[in-house]
């Protein structure tokens, strides 16, 4: 198999993930786009590992670690999404403007 096949697939997945991140308004859907990007990274890493026959298996090991990082991110991300939902009633990233720069900042309620 030519090495560029998996690499091109990875580029495609990455681009699709970028599109998802840019276009989606719901925070959970944005996270799905990020997952696609991370999967593209893993595909690259595994393909290169196989290509180099890396004695240290740097690519595969890193892919495993990326999966763990993604899981940790999602776990914390879920908590943050729920926190925002509790305080704002929705998780639309486009309508979050409370902190936006204004002449007279809103009074921080204490």
What is the nearest approach in angstroms of other proteins to the Cβ of residue 35? 6
Number of amino acids touching other proteins (CB under 8 A): 102
Q: Scanning residues 52 to 91, which ones bind other proteins (CB under 8 A)?
A: 52-88, 90-91
What is the nearest approach in angstroms of other proteins to the Cβ of residue 89? 9
- Using DSSP, state whether 92 is helix, strand or coil: strand
Instruction: For 48, list phi and psi in degrees, rounded to 5.
Output: -65, -35
Instruction: For 47, list phi and psi in degrees, rounded to 5.
Output: -65, -45
Q: Scanning residues 91 to 110, which ones bind other proteins (CB under 8 A)?
A: 91, 93-94, 96, 98-101, 103, 105, 107-108, 110
What is the nearest approach in angstroms of other proteins to the Cβ of residue 67? 5
What is the nearest approach in angstroms of other proteins to the Cβ of residue 95? 10
Q: Scanning residues 10 to 39, which ones bind other proteins (CB under 8 A)?
A: 10-39
CA gap 22, 1 in Å, rounded: 33
| Joined tokens for residue 14 | 């990455």
CA gap 28, 78 in Å, rounded: 8
CA gap 46, 53 in Å, rounded: 10
């Amino acid at each position: 198999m030519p090495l560029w096949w998996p690499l091109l697939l990875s580029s495609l997945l990455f681009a699709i993930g970028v599109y998802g991140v840019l276009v989606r308004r719901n925070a959970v859907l944005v996270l799905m786009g990020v997952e696609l990007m991370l999967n593209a990274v893993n595909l690259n890493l595994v393909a290169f590992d196989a290509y180099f026959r890396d004695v240290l298996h740097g690519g595969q090991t890193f892919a495993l670690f990326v999966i763990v990082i993604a899981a940790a991110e999602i776990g914390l991300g879920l908590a943050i999404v729920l926190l925002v939902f509790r305080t704002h009633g929705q998780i639309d990233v486009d309508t979050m403007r409370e902190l936006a720069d204004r002449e007279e900042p809103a009074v921080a309620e204490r």
